[in-house]
Amino acid sequence: MALSPDDVAGLAALSRIQLSAEEREHLAPQLDEILKAVATVSELDLAEVPPTSHALPLQNVFREDVVQESLPRDAALAGAPAAEEDRFRVPRILGEDA
């Protein structure tokens, strides 16, 4: 079953992505190929493969916490799109009374 542009529109709506009609037409065959590739997994004989949460049996692979100097404020703010009063400037997302 091939994906139609209407199927892509439904997926886009669920994902809250706005797509033009041209984009839906372009993406439909691409998403269909992706779904076919993923479906090939069901063709594998996995009866002898135990379920796992990780590909490799690693435990506690975190590095040790080491106290060290942090990045200087000016260096951190130098990479920001906007800064104000020695802080990152970000768009307001809460109401004025919050």
Fold of 5-43: Histone, subunit A (1.10.20)
Q: Is the pLDDT of residue 7 over 90?
A: yes
Q: Is the pLDDT of residue 98 over 60?
A: no
Model pLDDT for residues 30-78, shown as the tens digit of each residue: 999 999 999 998 899 989 988 888 778 777 778 888 999 999 999 999 9
What is the number of other CB atoms lying within 10 angstroms of the CB of residue 46? 10
Per-residue model confidence (pLDDT) at position 1: 65
CA distances for 9 relative to 2, 29, 47, angstroms: 14, 13, 37
User: Cβ(30)–Cβ(7) under 8 Å?
Assistant: no
CA-wise closest residue to 21 among 8, 2, 35: 8
Strand partners, 87: 84
